[in-house]
Chain A
């Protein structure tokens, strides 16, 4: 390992791999990826189901195959990778401290950094699931790793809380491995994962989904013995008298993902209270000069293809910064308006890319059953509009905006723009 690198990428998942590849292609000399796992690929490695690559490769690939395309490219471009290594601190001056069992304690300097640490799962306490604290309560991603990577079955009879994608995918996976998935329950009155997963993972395997239901109590001194479920009303308050006890030995929680930003915080990166990830512009630059971010560390995506695309953008930007290119300050801010829960990027320089193309990722704050227009507004004035067949919080909306065109419609010299979703 060297003492100084042009670009250091934290995390060898899809965002990090794409960032390193594009940084190299953009002329960065020494590019290093630091990965805490013992191999590259990130969470894709445990996602052995298909459904990856429809945008970039126009193919339906399993996770590891999708990752392999990028791993091969990174290797052939001589991207340096170090595994089983955890970054413990990053300073605003881009000094990186890391630790592993081979080199011991590592200290190095980066001309530019790409944060690509991904996300973590929400846990039992965050959903306030009360009761005993036995073995057999798992998060969906942990079960996915145990089953698909380590090769162990963590239970026989499962109840799954949360209709997120990983939960549904694990319901199918566990069924195929000989376990019984009794049911999936969901607090909200609607599915929180993708509809295609509901069809392919639950319907096709006869696994029931019960909406507007939550866990009242987990029972079992040593191992889970039962869970008590309860129906909730439209305010998500439990309805007395609707309790049911389901005997099982495992409870899987698939209750959402949270961007993992402990290192970003240490480096002084400003976070968005809605996405819980760094505030970035369309070049994926954070507020700290030379520190970029991409992927689930920024906002939780549905499709890995867009994670890779954001990673690529961050890599190009990092390489430019490392080469001493001037930094353009953001000219506009983008904030969620009516019907929108999160929007990323939160800032726009308006100068990047050959066609000044800006990718905006947003999520609806509620269900819109019919056609909607997704608008960018300067005051009440619509400067960009895009039609979708429907909008759901569970499905991210991606806007590909030609900023040159949009900028022409900006009249009032306002820097604050809003994004809204309106019924048509």
Chain B
């Protein structure tokens, strides 16, 4: 592969991958380097999955501007890239009379941020919209432009579209330092060698602060990672009609209750300190806090029906609690995208377009590429299709007939699609995130032995080299009866 690029993007989360996607419209060479084994493995795939409407950020901040523009962009971008996206709207729910005035404050902030359609609705009306709500509900703020997204699916869609349009991705490749010549960055060092470039985009999420510092920029900027835990429920046991936020506190937007694009109720997050930058371990106290928070809104939530739990890390910065999106003055050739915490996902398309704008205004020549393909057609998810459509697809490709994951009814054909896509799945978790395999009640205990076989066959490797999430996470290590080395 080549070693010189026009733009190198550090980090393949939603910000990095959408930046790659929008830049792929121009006649330049783009490389995305990612230390993990797949796109979007950290904050971008473990978050609330909400495209916030934008009433929450303080007016006249970057967060406010990016959120409201980002929200508008997502409504056309999601269908364009074939991303699961539910135009659900959202509610902030006041419990008890004491919380009611908060809704008025949020409403006014939303008006200041030019958010369309906001409305405060009364208790009686809200009870008809969400029968499971705490009967002490006193009112709710309706934000019709909020939406629910498949967050990993969105990152993957952006990355695949970027790759189809010529961008390159390198996984398990960690940034180790900048190469600079005089007052300008000329490349980066990685665990897979050096690459030269004209511009570096620092979209490294929780590590973006350290990287900015390595370039001699943003010396006072510190990211203090904060954990948020989430619990996912069996769809048969619990169903909620709407996206429900509690009234916010100083600690953030609070523990929400919503239904994912896949149809599971999800609750979270809380707000816990991390032991280190990569600490995404769930804790008993954190899980209990999330349950308690969610029960405030929906008292009938029962932990017995939880099928999965995980935590994500917020890249909370100290820049007045606002995003950092700029070309620093200290050195040329760098765009810093730091502290992209909530509403980062909602803001991501606006941030990516802002990068394009910043590069243009810095004099970087961006010439539109003929034949840019902005549309991505996703691989089929058979369980979302009608019986007739399934029959038709299976007739064309018999692998769509062999169901490997019994709970989510994921077929061998879908697994093979995931492994042959423009950003192919190379790990068990990669297949899981792309297909929803193993995400149901049995959490993969039925499918895993079968998937290991399919992966080994597709990748031409022995089963002992199949990993869950990249090197070091092998699942089986030897054949039985092979005498272990002493």
Contact = CB atoms under 8 A, between A and B. Distances in A.
Contact of B474 (A86, A102, A135, A150): A135
A155 B477 contact: yes
A259 to B, nearest CB: 11
B443 A219 contact: no
B310 A133 contact: yes
A315 interface: no
B406 A86 contact: yes
Interface string B447-472: 01100110000000001100111111
B409 A86 contact: yes
B439 to A, nearest CB: 11
A125 interface: yes
B150 interface: no
A262 B477 CA distance: 34
Contacts of A217: 281, 283
A149 interface: yes
Interface in A77-132: 84, 86, 88-89, 97, 99-105, 107, 120-121, 123-126, 128, 130-132
A128 B387 contact: no
A100 B402 contact: yes
A240 to B, nearest CB: 11
Nearest to B310: A133
Nearest to B443: A123
Contacts of B400: 99
Given A105-B387, A130-B309, A222-B470, A88 B403 contact: yes
B326 interface: no
A139 interface: yes
A120 B441 CA distance: 9
Contacts of B477: 153-156
A177 interface: yes
Given A125-B308, A152-B463, A177-B480, A142 B403 contact: no
Contact of A128 (B232, B309, B442): B309
A149 B463 CA distance: 14
B402 A84 contact: yes
Contacts of B445: 120-121, 123, 138-139, 141-142
A121 B442 contact: yes
B401 interface: yes
A99 B410 CA distance: 11
B42 to A, nearest CB: 12
Interface stretch (B77-85, B108-116, B390-398): B390-398
A252 to B, nearest CB: 11
A341 interface: no
Contacts of A219: 281
B480 A147 contact: yes
A135 B306 contact: no
Interface in A222-243: 222-223, 238
B476 interface: yes
A412 to B, nearest CB: 37
Contacts of A100: 401-402
Contacts of B483: 178
B307 interface: yes
Contacts of A36: 403, 406
Nearest to A100: B401
A264 B410 CA distance: 19
A49 interface: no
Dominant SS among interface residues on chain B: mixed
A98 to B, nearest CB: 9
A88 B409 CA distance: 8
Contacts of A132: 280-281
A99 B402 CA distance: 7
Contacts, number: 157
Contacts of B401: 99-105
B102 interface: no
A130 B473 contact: no
Contacts of A139: 445
B468 A134 contact: yes
Given A126-B306, A135-B469, A178-B484, A99 B476 contact: no
B332 to A, nearest CB: 36
A86 B403 contact: yes
Contacts of B241: none
A369 to B, nearest CB: 29
Interface string A252-272: 000000100010010000000
A183 interface: no
Given A130-B309, A153-B478, A265-B236, A102 B398 contact: yes
Contact of B281 (A131, A178, A258): A131
Given A154-B476, A156-B477, A123 B307 contact: yes
B412 A101 contact: yes
B448 A135 contact: no
Interface in A148-186: 149-156, 177-178
Given A101-B412, A262-B407, A152 B478 contact: yes
B399 interface: yes
A107 B394 CA distance: 13
Interface string B403-421: 1001101011000000000
B278 interface: yes
Interface string B342-367: 00000000000000000000000000
A311 to B, nearest CB: 20
Interface in A309-340: none
B236 A222 contact: no
A345 to B, nearest CB: 23
A126 B441 CA distance: 9
Contact of B307 (A121, A126, A218): A126
B300 interface: no
B449 A142 contact: yes
Contacts of A145: 449
B391 A125 contact: no
Interface in B375-396: 387, 390-391, 394-395
Contacts of B470: 222
Contacts of A422: none
B395 A104 contact: yes
Contacts of A152: 452, 463-464, 476, 478-480
Contacts of A303: none
Contacts of B394: 99, 104-105
Contacts of A86: 403, 406, 409
B261 to A, nearest CB: 20
A135 B478 contact: no
A223 B472 contact: yes
B185 to A, nearest CB: 30
Given A102-B401, A128-B303, A130-B282, A222 B406 contact: no
A99 B398 CA distance: 9
Nearest to B232: A125
B402 A146 contact: no
Nearest to A131: B281
A154 B467 CA distance: 12
B392 to A, nearest CB: 8
Contacts of A89: 387
A3 to B, nearest CB: 15
Contacts of B428: 135
B304 A126 contact: yes
A423 interface: no
Given A135-B468, A151-B479, A151-B480, A128 B284 contact: yes
B269 interface: no
11 contacts: A86-B406, A89-B387, A99-B390, A120-B445, A125-B232, A131-B281, A135-B473, A141-B445, A149-B449, A155-B477, A221-B278
- Top 10 A-B pairs, shortest CB-CB distance: A105-B391, A222-B472, A135-B468, A152-B476, A86-B403, A222-B473, A101-B402, A104-B394, A135-B473, A130-B282
